[in-house]
Structure 1
Amino acid sequence: MISPNLACDIFTDATRGASIPLYPEELLRTKSHILRRHGHIVVGDAPLRLYKHKSLWKYDERDVRRAARTLADVGVVADDVVEVVLPEERSYEERLAEDEEIRDRGWRGWISSWMYNDARRKLSADERPYSEWGEWRLIGESGLPGGLTWDEFVSTRAAARRRSSIAGTLPLELLTRSEGRWWLPRAYVDLLDRWEQVEEDLIERARMCSRCGVRGPRWGGWRTSTTRGYVTMCPPCSGAAFTAYTGHLRGVAYGQMRARRLRADDYLCRLCQSSRASVWDHCHGHDLVRGPVCAGCNTLEGKGVPISLLQRPEVVEHLLECSRCRKERTLPPRFHATVVQAFLEAEARHASCPVKPQVWRWETTEHGHVFDLHCSRHWTKKWRQEVPTADALVLVRDFVERALAVGQPKAAVPPPRTASDTAAPA
């Protein structure tokens, strides 16, 4: 077993003469959201399984060398090319209307999305409002949308090679345009098609519950982290295999957990109630245990969008598993501005206009939280408002009181007014 860094070095050395432009750093992408899909990194058409050992991800060196030889042997003939038809941009509504099973458009869709995303970024950088973009999706003479030129597209992508790689390769270095069409070497297109099939097979295999064989969600909904990597278990099997947490550790200091020798992975995640827990979550402000959570829920609670989290009753309930937060009627500091923002969205108005404003957080200072407000009906009416820290704490306290009283708080529902009622400009 070798580390990802050593695997990357071995792969780089073994593929120096390859005719395909490669991105060996693909082997370093071992973050949980990548591996949660199916537990492999696929380079070319070779799946490289990752193994967990002492909380670190490892590759089998034989797999790495075998994949490197396979890619090094792929022969690209410059004159033997085939046309590549790229899918058109679709609106958000159009994508939602599709069947969930076919939303992924494959490697052709990836290349297409790069083009449209960079076209949008170019128009945004010009500070032109969306209403003036016109038919920006139309393809120009360069074959790119939104007036994007090939040099602009390539230079932008070259600055972010990780975001321009597919299957550990760099397709834009082989992509050409002639006679109004896109072309790629035949051998390379065949390789990417095989990569698509390998990915699909791995995803399908990872959907099956390892205990009862029931087919689960496509994108890792039943995948749970263990000391040896990710496994797939349906909620009934997880519920039967792991102990439900009953809150019996509320008030226990996180620093005492090692001495108690209690393993989080003996429990069911108290947030999603469907996966095996992997860590003990705790309140960083008070250093008190909240409960066992799985890796996905732990990341969501720590890095998720606060406004979305506070609209989920189970998340608020989990945050209040900290006995000090419950007693003091407070939440972790990163949620305070969100509670204030929800209050302003519900209560602040531009003069006598009945329409709720759009509220954006501008900054948080030692004195309070500052927001930019725009009247949704009178768009030219904009103002900045500061809510003092003391008033913000009152709003948070009211939010927690309602959460404890009814169990289903809504961040969009305003708490009672405080001493500093919002005042919009005339």
Structure 2
Amino acid sequence: MLISPKSAPALFEDLTQNCTLPLIPEELEGTSFLRRHGHIVIGDTALRGYKHKARWTYDDRDVSRAGRALAELHVAFTDLTDLTDLTDLTEVQLPEYGDHSGQEPWDQPDWRRQLRSWTYDAAFHKTFRERRDSEDWHATWRDIGDNGLPGGLTMTEFLDARSEMPHMDNIAGTKPRGLLSRSGGQWLLPRVYAELLDRWEQLEEDLINRARICSGCGAQGPRGAWRAPTANGYITLCPTCSGATYQAYQGHLRGVLYEAVRRSTRADDFLCRLCGESRAFTWDHCHDHGYIRGPLCASCNTFEGKGVRFLDRPGSVLHLLECRSCQDQQTLPRRFHTAVIRDHLEATERHGRCRNRPHIRELEHTHGVHWLELTCHGRHWTKDVSPAEAADLVRGFVTRVLGDLG
């Protein structure tokens, strides 16, 4: 029987109520992760996602299989209130900072690297909070102490760090932080748990590699790059097969309002207007004026929606100017104004004779006025940018972009 991601955690919890591992049943609700390879891996069990009419489901037999496998995995504790008092431990070698740089893709399944990255993340935020006004605060947060943790972290601080962010304490649907212990200069984990994570790591890698295969020609592509959503799940198509299957968008809906076509014209008949490689997923439109800008794949649409460094991407500004009103007014959607202002201040603002670019963050945006804080080597100052000044900066930015195109 197929069950919804909302129903799956209850079945999973019922099967694992006596499991000695700390689990995260809510992992089953994270259907966005199905993009990677169409499965959610809990422990060492892969649960395939099934999609029909834009709704995801799981086979309840897969959920039961995952739950029973974890319930049968016995991690022996002499005292459940002290997770460091374990009877069967194995040494865990955690990599040093930057060991994997340039060697492995960012999404490479590697639970040891993940654990180490959490220690550095906690150390960075601790040092930033406590010494942000010091000019050399960034010089010490990577230093490993006698307890094996960087930045002067205590074990308690590491266990409590980022508790409000579940993905920062989740590997294979389990919580490994509380199972990690230190003795004799070595990191230790329950042996059966470390073996489980090794199996999870291999299974994830196998699924990722299978998802790299183009369903049209069988070519193997970059990790995740050719994945595209459809009404029935994700497919993998290389740019050549996508180009042969879907048509390039020629701007025939330029000047048309989104509400007039969103239900009558399918975006997924086209290639993505930005990357030109993947099947489009949705009609991107200007939320300020309502005009269609073009069809985008899920990846490009997410990138545009977040807005972070989007203007640095080649072709991004021209895509935004597909909105007729933005083009006529030589402007950009309001949510991109802060990025233009920030780039301008980074290029022009300095404290004294310092040549370094300051770090800038927006403090407030009310009644069209942007209030920003600038920081450089422990010095802080603020700037306010009026609506008229913001409009001039954006207009100048758009003019320069268009001018560069000749």
Q: Percent identity, aligned pairs only?
A: 51
- 1:84 pairs, out of 92, 99, 112, with 92
Seen in structure 2, the aligned counterparts of structure 1 residues 387 and 122 have a Cα distance that, compared at 3 Å, is: closer
Partner residue of 1:416?
none
Deviation at 1:139, TM superposition (A): 3.4
Partner residue of 1:140?
145
Structure 1 position 40 matched with structure 2 position 39: yes
SS in 1 for 2:95: coil
Question: Is the 1:18–1:74 Cα contact (8 Å) retained in structure 2?
Answer: yes
Question: Is the 1:350–1:357 Cα contact (8 Å) retained in structure 2?
Answer: no
Deviation string for 1:201-250 (max 9, x for gaps)? 011111111111111112x1111111111111111111111011000001
TM-score by length of 1: 0.85
Seen in structure 2, the aligned counterparts of structure 1 residues 383 and 118 have a Cα distance that, compared at 3 Å, is: closer
1:309-388 pair list within 5 angstroms? 309-348=310-349, 353=353, 355=355, 357-358=357-358, 360=360, 361-373=362-374, 383-388=381-386
Q: Tell me which moved more, 295-304 or 128-137.
A: 128-137
> Unaligned 5+ residue runs, structure 2?
77-85
Partner residue of 2:181?
176
- 1:262 pairs, out of 262, 265, 287, with 265
> Unaligned 5+ residue runs, structure 1?
409-426
Deviation string for 1:175-194 (max 9, x for gaps)? 23223322222211111110
Rounded to whole Å, the distance in 2 between the matches of 1:59 and 1:103 is 24
Structure 1 position 202 matched with structure 2 position 207: yes
Seen in structure 2, the aligned counterparts of structure 1 residues 118 and 381 have a Cα distance that, compared at 3 Å, is: closer
Deviation at 1:59, TM superposition (A): 1.1
Question: Is the 1:336–1:392 Cα contact (8 Å) retained in structure 2?
Answer: yes
Partner residue of 1:294?
297
SS in 1 for 2:3: coil
- 2:278 pairs, out of 264, 272, 275, with 275
Seen in structure 2, the aligned counterparts of structure 1 residues 309 and 139 have a Cα distance that, compared at 3 Å, is: closer
TM-score by length of 2: 0.89
Question: Is the 2:108–2:205 Cα contact (8 Å) retained in structure 1?
Answer: no
Partner residue of 2:83?
none
SS in 2 for 1:385: strand
- 1:393 pairs, out of 376, 391, 394, with 391
Which amino acid is the alignment partner of residue 87 of structure 1?
P
Partner residue of 1:238?
242
Question: Is the 2:307–2:336 Cα contact (8 Å) retained in structure 1?
Answer: no
Seen in structure 2, the aligned counterparts of structure 1 residues 234 and 5 have a Cα distance that, compared at 3 Å, is: same
Q: Tell me which moved more, 75-84 or 284-293.
A: 75-84
Count residues in correspondence.
394
Question: Is the 2:49–2:58 Cα contact (8 Å) retained in structure 1?
Answer: yes
Q: Tell me which moved more, 238-247 or 104-113.
A: 104-113
Partner residue of 2:115?
111
Rounded to whole Å, the distance in 2 between the matches of 1:135 and 1:372 is 25
SS in 2 for 1:38: coil
Seen in structure 2, the aligned counterparts of structure 1 residues 132 and 333 have a Cα distance that, compared at 3 Å, is: closer
Deviation string for 1:96-143 (max 9, x for gaps)? 4x3245984711111112122212222222135361566543433433
Structure 1 position 407 matched with structure 2 position 393: no
Deviation at 1:258, TM superposition (A): 4.4
Rounded to whole Å, the distance in 1 between the matches of 2:135 and 2:225 is 36
Rounded to whole Å, the distance in 2 between the matches of 1:359 and 1:136 is 19
Deviation at 1:160, TM superposition (A): 4.5
